[in-house]
Amino acid sequence: MATFFGEVVVAPSRAGVDDEEEARDETPEDREIRRELEKKREIDVLWTWKSAESAADEQLVCSKLIVAIGHNAAAFLSSFILDSVCWEVVGVVKLWNEWCRTTSTTNILLTDSFCLFYRLIADPTVLLCQCSCYVAEDQQFQWLEKVFGCMRREGLQVTILSTCPVADYKTQESTLTLPSPFLKALKTKEFKEHVCCPLLEQPNIVRDLPAA
């Protein structure tokens, strides 16, 4: 049970029971097709700082990570932050699903990437992530596991930027009188710094990869 609005809680799930029931009804052909699809939907994270000589468990030191999810948030980073030469590309996420296609190449190609990581040259512990692609529901945990599995999480501050239509915003006042665009925030109880905008009111929620 959440102790305050916006806290991340883990809800009980019967997904494991459903998976067992489905597995009993599968034919060998169905299992093979499912395995091939699962393999194709696996997410790969490629880093420039990792070489063949790097240790398998070597982790990136990161103090601040800013993740822009969606076309509008990614465009905001491009226009106001990444338009200088202060940043360098250090990583890319390769994924495949119903709405996103990237090649299986092992090289970092800017023209074929929908999810890029940038590092601040002046302070290599500060990272930006531009994620303008769709990450399917069954890929979200894998995305988090592989991206954050490469980073040291002690003292890491993560900021998520995302957008949603004004029509989805729940408020007692008319949305016609609201300034557009406007900014709201959610935070964890561990975040002690000043919040630069008002907090998001109940019963509004965040969905998909930003929520994950």
Whose tokens are 């692609």? That residue is 133
| Angle (CA) 196 199 202, round 5° | 170
Q: Is the pLDDT of residue 46 over 80?
A: yes
- Asked whether 117 and 127 are in contact (CB, 8 A), the reply is yes
Look at residue 186 in the predicted model and tell me its pLDDT. Answer: 92
Look at residue 133 in the predicted model and tell me its pLDDT. Answer: 86
Look at residue 178 in the predicted model and tell me its pLDDT. Answer: 82
CA distances from 22 to 13, 17, 37, 205 (A): 16, 9, 16, 31
Look at residue 167 in the predicted model and tell me its pLDDT. Answer: 84
- Asked whether 39 and 32 are in contact (CB, 8 A), the reply is no
CA distances from 199 to 86, 188, 205 (A): 31, 11, 12
Span 88-109, average pLDDT? 73
Cβ neighbours for 157, distance < 8 A, ≥ 6 positions apart = 63, 64, 65, 191
Q: Is the pLDDT of residue 109 over 70?
A: no
Confidence band, pLDDT 50/70/90 cuts, at residue 121: very high
Confidence band, pLDDT 50/70/90 cuts, at residue 199: very high
Look at residue 124 in the predicted model and tell me its pLDDT. Answer: 92
* Percent of the chain predicted with pLDDT > 90: 31
The tens digit of pLDDT for each residue in 128-185 reads 999 988 898 989 999 999 999 888 888 899 999 999 888 888 888 887 888 878 899 9
